[in-house]
Amino acid sequence: MIVEIKLFASAREQLGVEVVRVDMSGQTVGDLRNAMTAAYPELGSMLQQSLFAVNADYANDATVIQVSDEVACIPPVSGG
């Protein structure tokens, strides 16, 4: 399944794009996180700390993703 993921903050800056497409073999956010880690090793541990949203709702690693879902990757931000 190919999933389109909107990137925000440092993930967007690091890759230089707003959206990526990832081919994943599973169906959950956890499977997507692993597929993104393999596809974009430059994001490193950032992906393990990132939040994901599916259809504008925060999702955990067990959340099932459908092909038509809107998925976003929201990395941790710093500031003060």
60 lies in a domain?
A: yes
Return the pLDDT at 64. Answer: 97
Task: Name the pLDDT band for 23 (thresholds 50, 70, 90).
Answer: very high
Return the pLDDT at 55. Answer: 97
Structural domain that includes position 23: 2-74
80 lies in a domain?
A: no
| pLDDT beyond 70 at 62 | yes
28: domain CATH number? 3.10.20.30
Give the contacts of 54 (CB within 8 A, at least 6 positions apart).
29, 63, 65, 69, 70, 71
Rounded mean pLDDT of 15-43? 95
79 lies in a domain?
A: no
Return the pLDDT at 77. Answer: 80
Cβ contact 75:8 at 8 Å: yes
Q: How many domains does the chain have?
A: 1
| pLDDT beyond 80 at 79 | no
Rounded mean pLDDT of 17-41? 95
Q: Tell me the percentage of the chain whose pLDDT exceeds 90.
A: 88
Three-class secondary structure assignment of 3-71? EEEEECHHHHHHHCCCEEEEECCCCEHHHHHHHHHHHCHHHCCHHHHCEEEECCEEECCCCECCCCCCE
